[in-house]
Structure 1
C-alpha cells in the first residue's frame, strides 16, 4: 500500500528517476483493487438508484482520469530502470507492443547506476 501512496502523493507526475519492479507491480495491484472496489460500490449504487450502470461508469471514469498521470509516470520510471527511454512506452500503440512492454516490466532492472540515476534497490 505504501508503494501506491508513494506513487500517488510523492511522485504523482515525476517522470525522472527509476522505479523497481516491486514499486511498479504494487502500484498496478492496488490500482486494480481500487477499480474492483469502485465497480462494486458503483454496482450497489446503480441498484439503489436504478441508473443502469451510469454511476459505475462515472466512478470508473473519474478514477481513470485521476490515476492516468501517476500510472504513466511509474511506467516510464520502470522503463528507466531498464535503461530504456520513456519513449519506449509508445510501443504499446503498435500490434503486440503491449506484450513487449509486459516483458520489459517483468525484467530485472539494470544493476548499479545508469543514465537515469542510481539503482533503486
Structure 2
C-alpha cells in the first residue's frame, strides 16, 4: 500500500510516489510565499495580490498627506522614493505568485511573460483570478488546501473594498 501525504489543515491526501523524489510532505503542504515552486488557489492569489497592490498605494497616500500636512517637499520626496523602491520587490512577488497560480492550471510559469503584452496581459489576469485550478495532483504538486473561512472572509472584504473604491473612482 503506497504511503500518503496529508496536509495538516486540508483533507487532501496523495500518494508519496506521485509527489516525486525531491518533494516531501512539508514541501507539498506548507504555503511558500517567496518560492515559485508549487500551486496557489484563486482566493489566496486574490488576497495576496490585493495586499501587494495596496502596500505601495498606501505609502504614496501617506506621502501625499505628509506633504499636505507638513508642507515638506523633502519628506514627501523620500516617501515617494521609498514607495518606488518598494514597487520593485512587490512586482517580483506578484510575478512569483502568478507563476504559482499558473502551476495550479498545470501550465508552465513562463506564461507570466505574456502579462507584459497589452491584451494578453489582461486576459492572463482574468484567467488567473477566475479559472479554477486542476483538481487533484498535477505535475506541480498536490492541489492547494481548501480555503479556511478566514481566508474566504478576507477575500470578501477585499473584493468589497475594491468594488467601493471603483465606484468611488467613477
Q: TM-score, normalised by structure 2?
A: 0.59
Match of 2:52 among 14, 31, 45: 31
Report if aligned partners of 2:115, 2:125 keep a CA contact under 8 Å in 1: no
2:134 aligned partner: 110
Report if aligned partners of 2:59, 2:80 keep a CA contact under 8 Å in 1: no
Partners in 2 of 1:23 and 1:115 — Cα distance? 20
- The higher-RCO structure (CA 8 Å, 6+ apart) is 1
Q: 1:100 aligned to 2:123?
A: yes
Partners in 2 of 1:30 and 1:93 — Cα distance? 21
Displacement of 1:79 in angstroms is 0.4
- Structure 2 regions of 5+ residues with no counterpart? 1-29, 146-170
2:159 aligned partner: none
2:88 aligned partner: 65
Cα RMSD for the two superposed structures: 2.2
Q: Deviations over 1:36-84 (max 9, x none)?
A: 3212211123332134963343122121123233221111000000111
Partners in 1 of 2:124 and 2:76 — Cα distance? 32
Q: Which has more radius of gyration?
A: 2
Report if aligned partners of 2:56, 2:84 keep a CA contact under 8 Å in 1: no
Q: TM-score, normalised by structure 1?
A: 0.80
Report if aligned partners of 1:82, 1:108 keep a CA contact under 8 Å in 2: yes
Number of aligned pairs? 113
Q: 1:18 aligned to 2:39?
A: yes
CA 1:96–1:52 in structure 2 vs 1: closer, same or farther (change >3 Å)?
A: farther
- Structure 1 regions of 5+ residues with no counterpart? 1-5
Displacement over 6 Å in runs of 4+: none
Partners in 2 of 1:33 and 1:93 — Cα distance? 21
